Amino acid sequence: MKNKNIFKNIIWVMISVLTLVSLSCNDDLVDNTFDTDDVLEVTLSNSEMVLEELFFNNKVVFNWSSGSNKSTGAAIKYRLDLDLVDGDFSNPIAIFVDNVQNTFSHEVRFGDLNRALLDYGLDVDKTYDLKARVTAKVSNELVSDQVASANFNVTTFKPVSNKLFIVGDATPNGWDISNATELTASTTQRGVFVYRGDLTSGNFKFAVSQDGCWCQDFYTKDAIDSGKIIYNEGGSGDDLQWSIDQSLENDQEYKITVDLLNKTIKIEVVEITVKTPPFANLWIVGDASESGWNIDSPVAFNQNSDNPFEFYYEGQLNPGNFKIFAGALGDWCGEWYRPFQDNQILENGIVDQNSGCDVDNKWSVSEADQGRYRIIVDTQNNTIVFSKVSLYLIGDGGPNGWNINNPDPMDYVNGEYIFLGELGADNPTGEFKISKFIGEWCGGEWINAATSSQSITNTSFIYTQGCDGPDNKWKMQEGDAGTYEIRVNLVTEVITIIKQ
């Protein structure tokens, strides 16, 4: 009997140990690190903002807490949108982030916020009460969405013109405003424009367009300080102009720098640099390009009208080689732009300008690097830039929303850009357009609908540059939402939009 009791005790101990081990193993399978139990709140770095273009890059920061997944360990995704304080977010002003995880803040530049407000239809120089809303959506369907909001107010501003023209009897085209000379916009400073060239005895001022109406907006001279400019909206105000009475030497010209943000003007007499580029035309040649090895009628680069030294080409580059011909056509030993070593990869930098057939270096395109490219050659500084062209669906009608900083690109397959996904998922009546760039709203070329609020069944389109407009978009109608395939062929210039 005693041996039997000992045996029972041993069995009991073994069962207890196995139970403890089992419980311990089960505990190891539960990951409580993803349990969050926080109250969703949203705050702003600024609750009152007077926006100014001079402070375009100043930022407002939206911060929010994690919210709660009710100890389910499920992921939480966030959406940040903006509306008027009395709006219901059925048609929000902007959707800044959508469907993001492990993100608890978002920065918006003053300039981008102002643009969103004006694009929505709000007026300039007005103060509006706004509401930022964060929605936390838990991937476990048993947990309800959580919503938090914060109110703030913003005063809008009227953006300065992105074009400027000099007009007057001192200028090359006189008072013919429809043919006024356009200044060159700075690529590094917002609102800065430069004119270089001849001026004769007479007067001049600056217009924002070549509209023949003299009631348009002008910039004229400050009555107290000739180094300052005055913004005359609608031609209002004193029509004070700058005068030219100095005769220049043959090797001199005028340089005028106008800063619309700081309201300043600087008029200088400078030495004339080379006025004409070394070549009137450039062509791409090689089996990697659409020209093939044809130097009698190769495909030409385009010349930048604002900078005649700069030439650009956009097209498909396939596996193979190419170089850049500078003419005369048909002469293999003529003038070329070539890399400094043979089979050079597509790398930005200095390019070799030479003639003859002794050194015949070429760029090489691998299978991995093939695709559609934009090539820019600066014949003044002998540099070359290669940029692979991607397309991005931008707008609240698509999955990227109004995110121009890091949107998802379309797939590039056999020369076509393809989007396959949901349209109208977040906004059944949303809009979209297509960008060929990311970053700045005015930083590149757009593919816009041919008309404003164009139906997605109409695939007519136009190209626009930067913020020059018109800013037409495709607009979803009630019942349009669903899965779509969008194909863009930039060679044939055809877009197809097909509901799946």
Between the two ends of the chain, the Cα-to-Cα distance in Å is: 79
Question: Is there a single domain that holds both residue 288 and residue 375?
Answer: yes
Classify residue 26: in a domain, yes or no: no
Predicted confidence at residue 31, as pLDDT, reads 39
Distance CA 62, CA 51 (A): 16
Last residue of a domain, one of 127, 155, 183: 155
Is the pLDDT confidence value at 19 over 80? no
Predicted confidence at residue 417, as pLDDT, reads 96
Classify residue 340: in a domain, yes or no: yes
Contact 297, 328 (CB under 8 A): no
Last residue of a domain, one of 246, 271, 296: 271
Give the tens place of pLDDT for each residue, 306-340: 789 999 999 999 999 999 999 889 999 999 999 99
pTM of the predicted model as reported, rounded to 2 decimal places? 0.49
Predicted confidence at residue 16, as pLDDT, reads 45
How would residue 272 be classed by pLDDT, with cut points 50, 70 and 90? Answer: confident
Question: Is there a single domain that holds both residue 146 and residue 188?
Answer: no
Contact 134, 82 (CB under 8 A): no
Counting the structural domains of the chain, the total is 4
Classify residue 15: in a domain, yes or no: no
Question: Is there a single domain that holds both residue 40 and residue 141?
Answer: yes
Last residue of a domain, one of 247, 271, 295: 271
Question: Is there a single domain that holds both residue 76 and residue 189?
Answer: no
Question: Is there a single domain that holds both residue 360 and residue 440?
Answer: no
Give the tens place of pLDDT for each residue, 334-384: 999 999 999 999 999 999 999 988 889 999 999 999 999 999 999 988 999
Predicted confidence at residue 13, as pLDDT, reads 43
Classify residue 9: in a domain, yes or no: no
Classify residue 24: in a domain, yes or no: no
Classify residue 379: in a domain, yes or no: yes
Predicted confidence at residue 236, as pLDDT, reads 65
Distance CA 327, CA 279 (A): 8
The answer to which of 12-21, 197-206, 293-302 has the lowest mean pLDDT is 12-21
Classify residue 147: in a domain, yes or no: yes
Domain of 109, CATH number, reads 2.60.40.10
Give the tens place of pLDDT for each residue, 417-440: 999 999 999 899 999 999 999 988
Domain of 356, CATH number, reads 2.60.40.3620
Predicted confidence at residue 274, as pLDDT, reads 63
Range of the domain at 196: 165-271
Distance CA 71, CA 256 (A): 65
Question: Is there a single domain that holds both residue 461 and residue 353?
Answer: no
Question: Is there a single domain that holds both residue 213 and residue 298?
Answer: no
Classify residue 105: in a domain, yes or no: yes
